[in-house]
Amino acid sequence: MKSFKDKVAVVTGAGSGIGQALALALARQGAELAISDIHEHNVAETAAQCAALGAKVQHFRLDVGKREAIYAHADEVAKNFGRVNLVINNAGVAVNATVRELSDADFEWLMDINFWGVIHGTRAFLPHLTASGDGHVVNISSIFGMIGVPKQSAYNAAKFAVRGFTEALRQEMMIERAPVGVSCVHPGGVRTNIAKAARKGASDANRDLGVLFEKLAKTTPAKAADIILAGVKRNEARIFVGADAKLLDFMQRVLGSAYQKIIGPAFERQERT
Ligand SMILES: NC(=O)c1ccc[n+]([C@@H]2O[C@H](COP(=O)([O-])OP(=O)(O)OC[C@H]3O[C@@H](n4cnc5c(N)ncnc54)[C@H](O)[C@@H]3O)[C@@H](O)[C@H]2O)c1
């Protein structure tokens, strides 16, 4: 996909952060937009901003943790717009808790959104993307889909799984010579609401994770969106967002599993501050 002009783009989790920035960037580049979020008020606000930029846009309340809702959404978007070219499975949540602290309910909540939301979002739209003759799937993993980190076991599990799923799909599309590009995105820290909205275990009950995250996350959502869309145009298999993501990926490739000897102690120091 060399240009987004007149392409129909679907973005989940577009009420905030990276998803909102992607919607706005796509609007500026002439795409037609079907954007959704579990928080309808927020995605309506994003839609108003996209419309002000001159984009044709429809917004939807969608919980990506609900399989039937995603399939119904795919059919509705295809019907309303007549085609679908780009799907960005972006909606995501975080849980900050050790494996011991993590409840099954929180683990399942995260997997339903960060894992199943991406799988269903891909599979529901794939026939429409193929039919468009110029389709692309973008699945948002994380740098935590490349390295494991304490208190992120559920998030790591989902984001590693998204990477595996997406890399397999990309090869299948190539073998089939299907007109569908596939990219997996690995952001480092992007200054969004994700940490503030995160669920947390008992050891973090009195910590403001949002404040800590603000210090660590260097990339703005707008910059992240620009990097992601440039990567899509080049049909990149892996799109790294931010110098931190590139550095951590380099570290795990050079050190192999020994990266854990660096990340673990660095995390421990961070916990004490
Ligand atoms: N911010 C970062 O540092 C960072 C780093 C790596 C990966 N990511 C990933 O980027 C994606 C976007 O996150 P963000 O940082 O913009 O966070 P954010 O919290 O600002 O935005 C996430 C959006 O997803 C929506 N959402 C949550 N649950 C949903 C559900 N069940 N159905 C539909 N929408 C739902 C939220 O309402 C919110 O609008 C996520 O997949 C996240 O894991 C973020």
Q: Whose CA is nearest to atom 1 of ligand 1?
A: 190
For residue 111, report the phi and psi dihedrals to the nearest 5 degrees: -65, -40
Q: Please state the CATH superfamily assignment of the domain spanning residues 8-272 in this structure.
A: NAD(P)-binding Rossmann-like Domain (3.40.50.720)
At residue 271, the pLDDT reads 84
* Residue with token string 């389709």: 135
- Give, using CA atoms, the residue closest to atom 25 of ligand 1: 13
Query: Helix %, strand %, coil % for the chain, to 5?
Result: 55, 15, 30
At 50, list the tokens: 């996209």
Lining ligand 1 with CB less than 6 A are 12-13, 15-19, 37-39, 42, 62-65, 90-93, 113, 140, 142, 187, 189-190, 192-194, 197, 217
- Residue 237 has which token pair? 């298999």
Closest CA relative to residue 159, chosen from 173, 147, 142, 174: 142
> Residue 269, Cβ neighbours under 10 Å: how many?
9
- Give the whole-angstrom CA distance, residue 65 versus residue 197: 16
Q: What token pair was written down for 57?
A: 């846009």
Share of the chain above pLDDT 70, in %: 100
Distance between CA atoms of residues 263 and 267, nearest Å:
6
- Tokens 């940490």 locate to 195
- 63 in helix, strand or coil? coil
Which atom from ligand 1 is nearest to the alpha carbon of 112?
A: 31
Question: In a 3-state reduction of DSSP, which class is residue 187?
Answer: strand
Bridge partners of 61, per DSSP, are: 37
> Do the Cβ atoms of 94 and 184 come closer than 8 Å?
no
pLDDT at 273 over 80: no
Residues 6+ apart with CB under 8 A from 83: 8, 128, 131, 132
The whole-number pLDDT of residue 171 equals 98
Ligand 1 pocket test target in 10, 11, 16 with most atoms within 8 Å of CB: 16
The separation between CA 163 and the C-alpha centre of its own chain, rounded to angstroms, equals 11
CA–centroid distance, 245 to ligand 1, in Å, is: 17
The C-alpha atoms of residue 198 and residue 194 are separated, in whole angstroms, by 6
Residue type, 200: K
pLDDT band at 80 (very low <50, low <70, confident <90, very high): very high
Q: How many angstroms from the chain centroid is the CA of residue 128?
A: 20
Decide if 71 is catalytic.
Answer: no
Residue 53 is encoded by which pair of tokens? 């930029």
Token couple for 67:
């399989």
| Residue 212: per-residue pLDDT | 84
pTM: 0.98
- DSSP state, residue 147: S
The pick from 10, 18, 106 for probing ligand 1's pocket by mutation, whose C-beta has the most ligand atoms within 8 angstroms, reads: 18
Q: Supply the pLDDT for residue 40.
A: 98
Can you tell me the distance from the alpha carbon of 262 to that of 248, in angstroms, rounded to the nearest whole number? 11
228 close to 239: Cβ distance less than 8 angstroms: yes
Going from the C-alpha of 144 to that of each of 123, 185, 245, the distances in angstroms are 23, 11, 9
pLDDT per residue over 205-246, tens digit each? 988 888 889 888 999 999 999 999 999 999 999 999 999 999
Dist. CA 266 → ligand 1 center (Å): 25
Tens-place pLDDT, residues 86-131? 999 999 999 999 999 999 999 999 999 999 999 999 999 999 999 9
Look over the chain and give the mean of its residue pLDDT values, rounded to a whole number.
97
Atom of ligand 1 nearest to the CA of 21: 16
Q: If you measure from the C-alpha of residue 139 to the centroid of ligand 1, how many angstroms do you get, rounded to a whole number?
A: 12
